[in-house]
Amino acid sequence: MKQITWDDYSKKLHSEVTIAEQKFILEKPVIHRLEPEQFETENTTVYSFPDRGEWATHYLNAKYRGNFAPQVARNMVLRYSKESETVLDPMCGSGTTLVECKLLKRKGIGIDINPEACYVALNRLDFGQHDNSIRVYQGDVRNLDIIENESIDLIITHPPYADILQYSDRKDDLSNFPVTQFTKELVPMAKELYRVLKPDHFCAVLIGDTRKSGKYIPISHYLMDTFFGQGFSLKEDIIKAQFNCKMTPYWKHLSKEKNFHLIMHEHLFVFRK
């Protein structure tokens, strides 16, 4: 793991990075409002956010494919952590979890295997004070070598769904692995997350499924079984409705022709150590 510092980011400011074939210019963000206008924590096992949050820098992530709604991160942070505790997102992407940590006065550690994503995450954190309470690293969820055993209060993460969408051209990037290989790589991931999490604390994972060759591929269930195998138990299985998917019009047309249901939900598993 290698920390991407604010000095590193300042040298990259005003340059262009590419994530999942989408180009981003790293410009100083403009903040319209820091907090959501209306927000209540969810109290059922179904989450539905037709309008993604646009407070702070979350509005900038509309073009970041596969990022998750900030309402998910905010619910998890508020429910399962306290101020000044440490929250880890080991596949942080554009930094949704980290922005919520900053707003809600948690310490945050964000890790991504793609250094370009690390710069996007720091860009989303480029408001208010820059301090060491939020740190971003280029690294691999399967080897969290600088994080001590049982040092993390809460984990929130949103892994790729096997090779549905590639986030980099790195051969070791989980988003480039077909389902069979991806499933195998879930084992070292779950093992590391279990190692760094404090006992009786929680790990929230948002994961979805896919279809291939006319078959439903339950990636979420493979992940759940893997986490059970590493010692986690399941506290919650929350169903999150999906909205605004770029490929929905294509799949909607094909579903009528091929006679299948559109997958319009994800699983938000909350595991307990």
Closest CA to 240 of 72, 84, 87, 105: 72
What pLDDT score was predicted for residue 166? Answer: 76
Per-residue pLDDT at 266: 94
Tokens of 182: 């991806």
Q: Which CATH architecture has domain 2-207+218-241+265-272?
A: 3-Layer(aba) Sandwich (3.40)
pLDDT score at 50: 87
Taking the C-alpha atoms of residue 72 and residue 64, their distance in angstroms, rounded to an integer, is 16
What 3 state SS string does 179-197 have?
Answer: HHHHHHHHHHHHHHHHHHE
Between CA 26 and CA 234 the distance in angstroms is: 39
Calculate the CA 241 to chain-centre distance.
Answer: 16
Question: Which of 159, 157, 155, 191 shows the shortest CA–CA distance to 173?
Answer: 159
Q: Are 111 and 135 in contact (CB under 8 A)?
A: no
- Round to whole Å and give the CA distance between 101 and 95: 10
Which sequence spans correspond to the domains of the chain? Answer: 2-207+218-241+265-272
CB atoms within 10 A of CB 155: 26
The pLDDT value recorded for residue 174 is: 87
What's the pTM?
0.93
DSSP 8-class letter at 264 = -
End-to-end Cα separation, the chain, in angstroms = 24
DSSP 95-119: THHHHHHHHTT-EEEEEES-HHHHH
- The answer to whether the CB of 76 falls within 8 A of the CB of 204 is yes
What pLDDT is attached to residue 52?
A: 81
High-pLDDT (> 70) share of the chain, %: 94
Distances (CA, A) of 216 to 117, 181, 213, 221: 30, 17, 9, 12
- Candidates 120, 206, 219; CA nearest to 177 is 219
Token pair 């096992």 is at which residue?
45
pLDDT at 44: 97
The DSSP-derived string for 212-242 is ETTEEE-HHHHHHHHHHHTT-EEEEEEEEE-
What is the mean pLDDT of each successive set of 10 residues along the chain, which is 273 residues long?
96 90 90 92 94 91 82 97 98 95 98 95 94 95 96 95 80 89 95 98 95 89 97 97 67 63 89 98
- CB distance 27 to 70 below 8 Å: no
